[in-house]
Amino acid sequence: MNPVISVNHLHKAYGTTVAVDDISFNVAPGEIFGIVGPNGAGKSTTVESIMGLREPDSGNVSVLGLNPHTQRSAVSQRIGIQLQQAALPDRMKVWEALDLYSSFYTNTIPWEPLLEEWGLGDKRNARFVNLSGGQKQRLFIALALLNDPDVVFLDELTTGLDPQARRSTWDLVADIRDRGKTVVLVTHFMDEAEALCDHVAIIDHGNIIALDTPARLIEQVDDELRVTFEVDGPFSAEILSSLPQVSDISRSGRRWTARGDARNLLSAVVIALEQNAVRVTNLQTERASLEDVFITLTGRQIRA
């Protein structure tokens, strides 16, 4: 399928500092495309070039077949933007913001249902300054959806939200995608990218260092699965270490850990334990996460 966004050899420097060196990728229609990377990696510059807020030094960017720099007005009519750093006037009321922003677009959807949908129905007359962090964030998402956009950009959407608000926001983002919109998600939360994104580009030092589905990225870096369990009664480690699927078995206190290839370890371990009538409690599986991929590839924590 033809891409909604196409970035080819994007390059952008500020003075002598190269923000984006050479970045190329395509975003397919209807997917959630994640852009992750440490602070200062070039994420914002990349996304702002796609939105038409910055002019690339070289390279091509195309959004919905349009050039976001030379056709900025046409592009901005069809995209929705939630910026990491943005605000409304303190004394502006929620409904006034939606009403004002509606006047900027040629095609809009009614804002009253949006207000309900994003849980702001009872905040209609509240001033911006009196909203909580989560409410402000949801208002900005509602503003990003006012023009019924084809592409929605969400930049550090859940930063500053409590865990519960983060999870419910994830559901809403998946919901946006399920309504047929393409979503570009910029985040430094690896669990968020792993849970939501169909494809993830990891950016570091102005270049893409990995681009794939979260599952395949994890597989490439670490295809080991760990099965851990506690045993009630007699147990000989031989039962498992003799299995071809198990590469290693170890013990820490009452807890055993069997390691092996992610694709067939679990069933082999469970069957062997069952056949030998071992009474197992608290069985868990662990495997690498996108966070591990990130640390392996960049050699550092995301928030060092």
Compute the residue count for the chain. 304
End-to-end CA distance of the chain: 38
φ, ψ of residue 180 to 5 degrees: the values are: 90, 5
Q: Tokens standing for 8?
A: 């080819």
* Distance from chain centroid for Cα 233: 44
Token pair 């929705």 is found at 80
Which range touches another protein (CB under 8 A), out of 75-83, 118-126, 239-247, 257-265? 75-83
Token pair 């002598």 is found at 16
Look up residue 93 and give its DSSP letter.
B
SS3 273: helix
Could you give the string, one character per residue 238-257, with x where binding to another protein holds by CB under 8 A and - elsewhere?
A: --------------------
The DSSP string of 161-207 is --HHHHHHHHHHHHHHHHTT-EEEEEES-HHHHHHH-SEEEEEETTE
Look up residue 194 and give its DSSP letter.
H
Query: Can you tell me which of 16, 85, 164, 275 binds another protein, judged by CB under 8 A?
Result: 85
Residue 125 in contact with another protein, rule: CB under 8 A: no
Token pair 């983060």 is found at 166
Query: Can you tell me which of 39, 73, 276, 284 binds another protein, judged by CB under 8 A?
Result: 73
Q: How far apart (Å, rounded) are the C-alpha atoms in residues 199 and 214?
A: 6
Contact between residue 208 and residue 182 where contact means Cβ atoms under 8 Å apart? no
Query: Can you tell me which of 18, 30, 101, 292 binds another protein, judged by CB under 8 A?
Result: 101
Residue 91 in contact with another protein, rule: CB under 8 A: yes
Least distance (Å) between residue 82 CB and another protein: 9
Query: Can you tell me which of 18, 26, 280, 292 binds another protein, judged by CB under 8 A?
Result: 26
Least distance (Å) between residue 191 CB and another protein: 23
129 vs 271 by CB, closer to another protein? 129
Token pair 């990728």 is found at 25
Burial 185-202 (b: 16+ CB within 10 A, else e): bbbbbbebbbbbbbbbbb
Query: Can you tell me which of 14, 55, 87, 263 binds another protein, judged by CB under 8 A?
Result: 87
How many residues of this chain bind another protein (CB under 8 A)? 44
Query: Can you tell me which of 81, 115, 190, 273 binds another protein, judged by CB under 8 A?
Result: 81
Q: How far apart (Å, rounded) are the C-alpha atoms in residues 268 and 21?
A: 47
Residue 70 in contact with another protein, rule: CB under 8 A: no
Residue 47 in contact with another protein, rule: CB under 8 A: no
48 vs 204 by CB, closer to another protein? 48
104 vs 167 by CB, closer to another protein? 104
Residue 51 in contact with another protein, rule: CB under 8 A: yes
85 vs 252 by CB, closer to another protein? 85
Chain contacts with another protein (rule: CB under 8 A): 1-4, 6, 8, 25-26, 28-29, 51, 53, 62, 64-66, 71, 73-74, 76-78, 81, 83, 85-92, 96, 99-101, 103-107, 140, 143, 199
